[in-house]
Amino acid sequence: MLKKRILMLLGLFILVGTLTACQSGSNNGRSITAVGSSALQPLVEAVGENYASAHSGNFINVQGGGTGTGLSQIQEGAVDIGNSDLYAEQKKGINAKKLVDHKVAVVGITPVINKQLAIKNLTKKQLIGIFTGDITNWQQVGGPDRTIVVINRAQGSGTRSTFERWALNGQSSLQAQEQDSTGMVRQIVASTPGAISYMAFAYVDKTIKTVNVDNIQPTNKNVETNRWPIWSYEHMYTRGQPKGLTKDFIDYMMSDSVQEKVVGKLGYIPMSQMKTTRTLNDELHITK
Amino acid sequence: MHDDIKDSLLKKSRATRSEQRGRIISLTCTAIIVLIVISIFYFVASKGLATFFSNKVNVWDFLSKSIWNPGSTDSHGSPQAGALPMIIGSFGVTLLSAIIATPFAIATAIFMTEISPNKGYKILQPVTELLVGIPSVVYGFIGLSVVVPFVRHTFGGTGFGILAGTFVLFVMILPTVTSMSVDALRAVPRYYREASLALGATRWQTIYKVVLRSATPGLATAVIFGMSRAFGEALAVQMVIGNAVLLPHNLISPASTLTSVLTMGMGNTVMGSAANNALWSLALLLLLMSLVFNLLINKIAKRGRI
């Protein structure tokens, strides 16, 4: 009886041992982990899957967690790639000197409002007024008599930082409702009368509507020429120059076929289409 | 010379050995659990206290100020970490949902144990068990698509706020409080009821004056258990409360709880930064509060025993 039990226990250990051994054994290919920005996550996941199916034996693990997580994890060397909506220099607590930046795509961000509001255009001044709390009723900007409901992304979110930097001229938005994902923002803007928020172009659908700012439409074309200034790069950071699979994967990400076919399809703007570049210090260069 | 009897007396028997082995195994498991609890406490405390020691936030400011922007600093150069809106939000939804849930839970428990022990129990027991098993994201989603519009149409505002959070938490803690109340009422000895009825008390008098009175400590424990669940609930509340770090003007203005700010902020801050430490301070506050709830439960249970 006792012997039987001991045997069973031993068997269990052996089983667990072989299982784990199997995992590391069959992994004769390579695997890397990319963590961070949820705005960039869908793109990295899609490209990662394509890469893995084209190069069998290689695995790209992609996780969300937010820009802060991505940058702090890559700084600690816990992951191979840290995804970020922001320049590492712009995030407090990150030593950007150790990190190498790979800009893989551009994301345009647009203000969005509830569909019932008959507003097509807001001036930048009005937009700033709304998000800093000076304008509280849609009547003040030519809309119906309705209280403005501002919905923010969480503090420190890349989308929010970009929006505050480029749409609000660096002013921070008032304390208001906050949501930690774009999906939730979209649902709440769609269902709450008088709501206004902001999100990446890729997330805009028929349940909400976008607003022009200073009569400029939020389109990819306008982002490419910087007529629509509310956009940001999507960064993939590595610790030091990338090596091995990390390098191969980033090269694949930057390759023309991926940039042209996958990036645009998922609602991002390929780097190659940008006619301007923006440096860390917000200097603008026209390249094409 | 070989003596079997002497051997068997001096050697440990098989039963002793298996007992020893069992003791070692259970001791190790207990030690591991204790170690885990201690290390969790240590980890949360070391991170959470860093806000006060290395980022120089005044503890009193943390508890009493209402500007939450730990990423930037105030005029004195310390991060703006005023957690009062979250503290009020957390306690608000917890207390309100407990106040609403308690009468429902106790009434259900009385029905299940005193009035209709057979039929009522057979129907209500599975129902409460089912309610416990529903994941909190489902509650949150129902809250977002049903409760929030309902509050908006009935009471005005955007619908997001403490009231919506209270409604969602009410349904979430109801089964916990109910099933624990049932246990408390069942623990009342049968002869209490028999004696009361023999003295000529009606059923209602027996329930009200005898059963409920003697089950009070158990019922209080049930309510506090529900409150500690409500206090720690993150996801469902986060979806309906609006997450605005503002002092709530009323029950329908967007508010926030400790948990909702914590879960939203974690991914957007960098480990070791002031903003991140401030979030750990919130976590520490949550941990201390759950400790308080546990102590309360212990105290009530002790008083009930005497």
Among residues A174, A194, A224, the one where a domain terminates is: A224
Is residue A22, in this structure, part of any structural domain at all? Answer: no
Looking at the structure, tell me whether residues A210 and A124 fall in a common domain.
yes
Total structural domains within chain B: 1
Looking at the structure, tell me whether residues A45 and A64 fall in a common domain.
yes
**Average pLDDT, integer, range A240-258:** 90
Please say if the pLDDT value at position A55 is more than 90.
Answer: no
Assess A93–B contact: CB distance below 8 Å, yes or no: yes
Looking at the structure, tell me whether residues A94 and A138 fall in a common domain.
no
Looking at the structure, tell me whether residues A219 and A253 fall in a common domain.
no
Assess B137–A contact: CB distance below 8 Å, yes or no: no
Contact A176, A131 (CB under 8 A): no
Looking at the structure, tell me whether residues A182 and A242 fall in a common domain.
no
| pLDDT score, position B164 | 94
| pLDDT score, position A20 | 58
Domain containing residue A249: 30-107+230-284
**CATH number (domain holding residue B277):** 1.10.3720.10
Looking at the structure, tell me whether residues A186 and A270 fall in a common domain.
no
Assess A99–B contact: CB distance below 8 Å, yes or no: no
pLDDT-based confidence at A288, cuts 50/70/90?
A: low
What's chain A's average pLDDT?
86
Which residues in chain A have Cβ-Cβ distances shorter than 8 Å to B149? 191
CB-CB under 8 Å, B243 with A179? yes
| pLDDT score, position B306 | 44
Among residues A197, A224, A251, the one where a domain terminates is: A224
Is residue B294, in this structure, part of any structural domain at all? Answer: yes
Is residue B194, in this structure, part of any structural domain at all? Answer: yes
Total structural domains within chain A: 2
Which residues in chain B have Cβ-Cβ distances shorter than 8 Å to A157? 268
Is residue A17, in this structure, part of any structural domain at all? Answer: no
Is residue B162, in this structure, part of any structural domain at all? Answer: yes
Looking at the structure, tell me whether residues A94 and A155 fall in a common domain.
no
Task: Tell me the count of A-B CB pairs closer than 8 A.
Answer: 91
Q: What is the 3-state secondary structure (H, E, C) of chain A?
A: CHHHHHHHHHHHHHHHHHHHHHHHHHCCCEEEEEEECCCCHHHHHHHHHHHHHHCCCEEEEEEEECHHHHHHHHHHCCCCEEEECCCHHHCCCCCHHHEEEEEEEEEEEEEEEECCCCCCEECHHHHHHHHHCCCCEHHHHCCCCCECEEEEECCCCHHHHHHHHHCCCCCCCCCCEEECCHHHHHHHHHHCCCEEEEEEHHHCCCCEEECEECCECCCHHHHHCCCCCCEEEEEEEEECCCCHHHHHHHHHHHCHHHHHHHHHHCCCEEHHHCCEEECCCCCEEECC
Picking from B270, B271, B280 by the largest number of A CB atoms within 10 A of its own CB, the best residue to mutate is B270
Assess B50–A contact: CB distance below 8 Å, yes or no: no
Share of chain A above pLDDT 70, in %: 91
Domain containing residue B193: 84-305
CB-CB under 8 Å, A184 with B263? no
Is residue A11, in this structure, part of any structural domain at all? Answer: no
Which residues in chain A have Cβ-Cβ distances shorter than 8 Å to B159? 192
Assess A184–B contact: CB distance below 8 Å, yes or no: yes
Looking at the structure, tell me whether residues A50 and A123 fall in a common domain.
no
Global pTM reads 0.82
Assess B73–A contact: CB distance below 8 Å, yes or no: no
Closest partner CB to B244 (pick from A38, A69, A178): A178
Looking at the structure, tell me whether residues A103 and A239 fall in a common domain.
yes
| pLDDT score, position A211 | 93
Looking at the structure, tell me whether residues A34 and A97 fall in a common domain.
yes
The list of chain B residues with pLDDT below 70 reads 1, 304-306
**Per-residue model confidence as pLDDT tens digits over A5-28:** 776 767 767 666 666 554 444 445
Is residue B192, in this structure, part of any structural domain at all? Answer: yes
Portion 28-87 of A in contact with B at CB < 8 A? 38, 64-69, 71-72, 75-76
Is residue B31, in this structure, part of any structural domain at all? Answer: no
Is residue A19, in this structure, part of any structural domain at all? Answer: no
CB-CB under 8 Å, A175 with B68? yes
Is residue B221, in this structure, part of any structural domain at all? Answer: yes
Among residues A177, A201, A224, the one where a domain terminates is: A224
**CATH number (domain holding residue A80):** 3.40.190.10
Assess B78–A contact: CB distance below 8 Å, yes or no: no
Is residue B36, in this structure, part of any structural domain at all? Answer: no
Looking at the structure, tell me whether residues A175 and A274 fall in a common domain.
no
CB-CB under 8 Å, B276 with A178? no
Looking at the structure, tell me whether residues A245 and A210 fall in a common domain.
no
